[in-house]
Amino acid sequence: MRKLIPCIAILLASCGSTSAPRSDAVNQPWYRDAVAQLAAINRQAETDFTAGKRDAAAALIEKGEPIQKRILDVPHPTLDAVKAACDLDDLYGRMLLSNRHYGWARLLFQKNLNRWKHWQPQTDDTRRLYQQAVSEIAECDKHIDE
């Protein structure tokens, strides 16, 4: 029994990490650049969609999707990253809604609703974005059986 206790202590000590703590991805330059790039893509896609250039907007949304995935795949994305991701999904959802693809649009709006429902800390802006998603889902639901 006396020999067992030191063995367990050595075993437990060896389980600890000896490497330096991993740097947080959100503090890396690539992360800030990717968030800024996605925000720029969103602005241009919104401009194109508003101007009736739907194919150009769709191409930009497609270009933004891998960036969106990359910035959301980190353990704790920043508020700006989540906003940029939600803006992309919101625009895509509105495009689908305008094309009468109500179920697919609803799915994108539901993603945004879940993001803002669980965001901490809640702010006036996150509550507004949550309510926007609720309204967009309601709009889809009005037409979903058409």
- The DSSP secondary structure of 9-72, one letter per residue, reads HHHHHHTS--SPPPPPGGGSHHHHHHHHHHHHHHHHHHHHHHTT-HHHHHHHHHHHHHHHHHHH
56 part of a folded domain: yes
16 part of a folded domain: no
Domain holding 69, by residue range, is 26-143
2 part of a folded domain: no
Give pLDDT tens digits along the chain (146 positions): 555 555 554 544 555 444 334 458 899 999 999 999 999 999 999 999 999 999 999 999 999 999 999 999 999 999 999 999 999 999 999 999 999 999 999 999 999 999 999 999 999 999 999 999 999 999 999 998 87
Q: How far apart are CA 32 and CA 78, in angstroms?
A: 10
Single-letter code of the amino acid located at 25: A
Q: Is the dihedral of CA 42, 44, 48, 54 positive or negative?
A: negative
What lies within 8 Å, CB to CB, of 23 at 6+ separation is none
Instruction: Name the domain count of the chain.
Output: 1
The pLDDT score that the predictor gives to residue 146 is 77
36 part of a folded domain: yes
Structure pTM? 0.82
Nearest to 37 by CA among 75, 55, 65, 64: 64
Q: How far apart are CA 139 and CA 52, in angstroms?
A: 21
73 part of a folded domain: yes
If you search the block for the tokens 């241009």, which residue do you land on? 44
107 part of a folded domain: yes
**CB neighbours (10 Å) of residue 103?**
10
